[in-house]
């Protein structure tokens, strides 16, 4: 009786501020992601419906995990692995055939191997040198069955194929996490680019305001031409930086659409900007490492590959064991359809391997070396996972502290600009102090944006190290 097998599966002097404001608003406004029809999955089903409004970083990660091409490729490989497992299972199931044959042939009597000696006084039945007789026409209709009764090697190969199919299924999860990480990282880059664009827009508005003040003071006879030139130079510099920031925004948006496998001429709206970090959300190293060791799909993949390697080693060793099979051939045969008689053949066959030229020994040694290689890779991956988690936690904590310091620096820079601008408006000093303060403010805004980006990047890195990027909110 066959064993039961379980299945798994981007002027006017008096209007500079207004014009800049309109231009900045038109180019910095979020861009909407329009709904698209669901993309067909590799098995003909629809993947996750595309959002029609703003998307969060978690939405981006989950969308990439469902739509990215590498994930689809991994799914197809899993389908192939399951198909190979079904093919391997065929060695454990009966092979049943129905055969109908109508044939005719002639015979040379000298090749029959039988001598027909003549009776005394009579000529030989057949020419001793041979003669052609026939044709003999036959009709043969029968069924044939061959089935293994005991075959440990075939059973081991099937179990190994099923373990390989399970490993291919885990590879889909690993590919999904990698795609989610790429999308989340692209999302953070777009957040950074939008933050830079907003900062440069504010710098441009301040430069335009200072230029208007300098021109008004010059017209009133209380200012100097140098202040106007300085303000014009500052405004030109800010326009150039605004163009650069706009280009970076467009490039980052393009990268995000590519990571999400969306049309490259589409629009994306982010649901949130770079957030102020909260120290309380940082887990301890021990908790994060434990979670990572339990969730990382790469570790699960290696475990599945180890299980498959062990099964194939067992199957190779079991080839030394005897195999028992049954065959049955039953049907009717005759010279015509009207004259058919039943005939059958059946038997039980025992196959005992004796010597194969040391093939199995060499194959077993190769498979055991592969098994030890997988074990070493898993041990190294455990150390790598723990190091990645701890490094991400260090980056997260450092980025949170850096963001706090950068925000304090920004507050002081804004205060310095306000004081220098008031002195300039009242004519106490020229605009040199304002220009110096505005440069400091530009740098402070950039540092805050960079620090918040570093924090969000570390969040994504920690989620990837823990093996659950798609769980980001």
Q: How far is CA 299 from CA 173, 292, 385, in A?
A: 11, 9, 9
Averaged over successive runs of 10 residues, the pLDDT of the chain (473 residues) comes to 34 35 35 35 43 79 86 89 89 90 88 79 80 87 90 86 86 87 89 88 84 78 77 85 88 86 77 67 78 84 88 87 90 87 91 86 87 90 87 85 86 84 74 80 86 87 84 81
Tokens coding 181: 């990480």
Tokens coding 366: 């190769």
Residues whose CB is less than 8 angstroms from the CB of residue 200 and which lie 6 or more positions away in sequence, other chains included: 238, 241, 242, 244, 245
The confidence score (pLDDT) of residue 430 equals 67
Residue in the block written with tokens 């089903």: 45
The phi-psi region of residue 113 (left if phi > 0; otherwise alpha if psi is between -120 and 50; otherwise beta) is left
Residue in the block written with tokens 């040391």: 358
CA pair distance 362, 436, nearest whole angstrom: 77
Sign of CA dihedral 429, 430, 433, 437: positive
CA 258 to chain centre: 14
- Where b means 16+ CB within 10 Å and e means fewer, 193-230 reads bbbbbbbbbebbbbbbbbbbbbbebeeeeebeeebbeb
The confidence score (pLDDT) of residue 14 equals 37
The answer, yes or no, to whether the previous bond of 107 is cis (omega within 30 of 0) is no
The confidence score (pLDDT) of residue 156 equals 87
The confidence score (pLDDT) of residue 45 equals 36
CA pair distance 256, 250, nearest whole angstrom: 10
The confidence score (pLDDT) of residue 16 equals 35
């Amino acid at each position: 009786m066959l064993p039961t097998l379980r299945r798994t599966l981007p002027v006017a002097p008096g209007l500079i501020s207004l014009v800049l404001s309109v231009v900045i608003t038109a180019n910095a406004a979020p861009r909407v992601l329009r709904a698209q029809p669901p993309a067909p999955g590799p098995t003909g089903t629809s993947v996750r419906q595309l959002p029609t409004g703003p998307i969060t970083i978690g939405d981006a990660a989950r969308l990439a995990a469902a739509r990215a091409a590498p994930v689809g490729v991994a799914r197809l490989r899993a389908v192939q692995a399951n198909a190979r497992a079904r093919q391997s299972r065929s060695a454990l199931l009966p092979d049943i055939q129905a055969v109908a044959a109508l044939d005719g042939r002639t015979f040379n009597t000298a090749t029959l191997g039988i001598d027909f000696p003549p009776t005394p006084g009579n000529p030989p039945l057949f020419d001793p040198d041979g003669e052609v007789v026939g044709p003999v026409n036959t009709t043969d209709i029968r069924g044939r069955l061959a089935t293994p009764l005991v075959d440990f090697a075939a059973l081991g190969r099937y179990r190994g194929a099923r373990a390989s199919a399970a490993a291919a299924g885990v590879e889909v999860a690993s590919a999904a996490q990698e795609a989610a990480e790429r999308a989340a990282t692209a999302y953070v880059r777009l957040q950074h680019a939008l933050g830079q664009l907003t900062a440069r827009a504010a710098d441009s508005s301040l430069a335009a305001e200072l230029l208007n003040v300098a021109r008004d003071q010059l017209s009133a006879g209380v200012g100097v031409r140098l202040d106007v030139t300085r303000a014009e130079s500052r405004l030109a510099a800010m326009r150039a930086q605004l163009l650069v920031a706009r280009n970076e925004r467009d490039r980052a948006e393009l990268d995000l659409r590519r990571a999400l496998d969306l049309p490259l001429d589409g629009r994306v709206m982010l649901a949130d900007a770079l957030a102020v970090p909260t120290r309380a959300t940082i887990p301890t190293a021990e908790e994060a490492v434990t979670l990572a060791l339990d969730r990382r799909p790469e570790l699960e993949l290696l475990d599945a590959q180890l299980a498959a390697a062990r099964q194939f080693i067992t199957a190779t060793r079991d080839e030394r064991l005897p195999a028992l099979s049954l065959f049955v051939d039953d049907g009717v045969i005759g010279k015509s359809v009207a004259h058919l008689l039943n005939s059958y053949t059946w038997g039980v066959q025992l196959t005992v391997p004796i010597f194969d030229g040391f093939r199995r020994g060499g194959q077993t040694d190769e498979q055991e070396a592969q098994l030890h290689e997988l074990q070493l890779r898993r041990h190294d991956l455990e150390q790598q996972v723990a190091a990645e988690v701890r490094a991400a936690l260090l980056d997260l904590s450092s980025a949170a502290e850096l963001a706090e310091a950068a925000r304090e620096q920004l507050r002081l820079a804004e205060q310095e600009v306000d004081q220098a601008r008031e002195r300039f408006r009242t004519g106490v000093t020229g605009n040199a102090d304002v220009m110096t303060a505005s440069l400091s403010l530009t740098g402070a805004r950039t540092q805050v944006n960079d620090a918040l980006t570093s924090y969000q990047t570390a969040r994504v890195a920690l989620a990837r190290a823990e093996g659950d990027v798609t769980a980001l909110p």
